[in-house]
Amino acid sequence: MAGQIFHHTHRVTYAECTVGNHVYHARYLDLLEAARGEFCRALGVTLVQLQEQDAIFPVIECRLRFKAPARYDDVLTIEVWVTAAEKVRLNFGHRIVNQRGTVILEAETFHVCTSVADKPKRLPEILVTRLAPFVQAASE
């Protein structure tokens, strides 16, 4: 991969697991959201700050590929990179790996930048600039 990758660590809680002791499939979306939020924070701009500037990033599509189960108390590393940051589009690649190096999930999320009133708008320039080192081609 050409661009940088942001890493976020998460320990699986009991509440995230099913009776069969694996992370419930829909919880992975929460983990990806948390990682993206921390990614923005690490870039020096929070999602709330962007919202206060009338820019939000609703998910318009997501793709999840489950590779192996994550279980209670696993320490997960959630990798995040950018596959597109242009005009109104902001897309992310994700990979979740456990403490043993097993790939748990590969995912892509597709976002559009809008105003709080849901009007499409260009990505804020500060965000485009700070995301630039993390941009990778979607096929990489």
The domain locations on the chain are 6-134
Q: What is the reported pLDDT for 137? A: 65
Cα angle vertex 91, ends 87, 107, to 5°?
170
Q: What is the CATH number of domain 6-134?
A: 3.10.129.10
Mean pLDDT of 65-76: 98
CA distance 122 to 10: 32
What is the token pair recorded at 75?
């320490």
Give the integer Cα–Cα distance in Å for 82 and 97: 18
Q: Is the pLDDT of residue 66 over 50?
A: yes
Determine what percent of the chain is predicted with pLDDT higher than 70.
96
Q: Where are the beta strands (DSSP E) in the chain?
A: 6-11, 59-66, 75-86, 89-97, 103-112
> To the nearest whole number, what is the mean pLDDT of the chain?
95
Global pTM reads: 0.92
Which of 23, 30, 18, 20 is CA-nearest to residue 62? 30
Chain centre to alpha carbon of residue 93: 7
